[in-house]
């Protein structure tokens, strides 16, 4: 599987994404703040990129397909949280800033499993619609 590195420059911050073996590595870099802020077009770009990379991993005959047996995220007051090893990723819609905020605690970058990425994409799609 060839290595690909992508950088997104949303309204606020920087998001770096690449594939490492059969996971997607997500790194959030803030600019003078505590979160990345995505406009609607930024969110659509992120969705498209995560979907494309997930599909590449899923279609690789050597990747192990882990069944999706239970919801991996926790929702608390319209904030969505994923525990990723010793890290946490949070996504929240901020209507006053007209965007979606991404936060992380712990290790950066985070190594995402395909099932986590699919949930993230579904949440992002729901927040922009």
- Model pLDDT for residues 36-47, shown as the tens digit of each residue: 999 999 999 999
Q: Point out which residues pair with 84 in neighbouring strands.
A: 87
State residue 65's pLDDT score.
Answer: 87
Quick: pLDDT tens for 28-87: 998 777 899 999 999 999 999 999 999 999 999 999 888 899 999 999 999 999 999 889
């Amino acid at each position: 599987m060839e290595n690909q590195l992508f950088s997104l420059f949303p309204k606020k911050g920087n998001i770096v994404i690449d594939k490492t073996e059969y996971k997607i590595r997500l790194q959030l870099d803030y600019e003078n703040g505590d979160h990345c802020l995505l406009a609607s077009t930024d969110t659509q770009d992120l969705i498209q990129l995560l979907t494309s990379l997930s599909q590449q991993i899923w279609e690789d005959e050597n990747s192990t397909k882990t069944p999706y047996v239970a919801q991996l995220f926790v929702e608390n007051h319209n904030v969505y949280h994923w525990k990723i090893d010793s890290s946490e990723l949070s996504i929240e819609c901020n209507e006053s800033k007209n965007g979606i905020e991404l936060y992380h605690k712990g290790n950066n970058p985070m190594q995402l499993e395909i099932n986590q990425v699919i949930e993230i994409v579904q949440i992002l799609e729901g927040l922009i619609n």
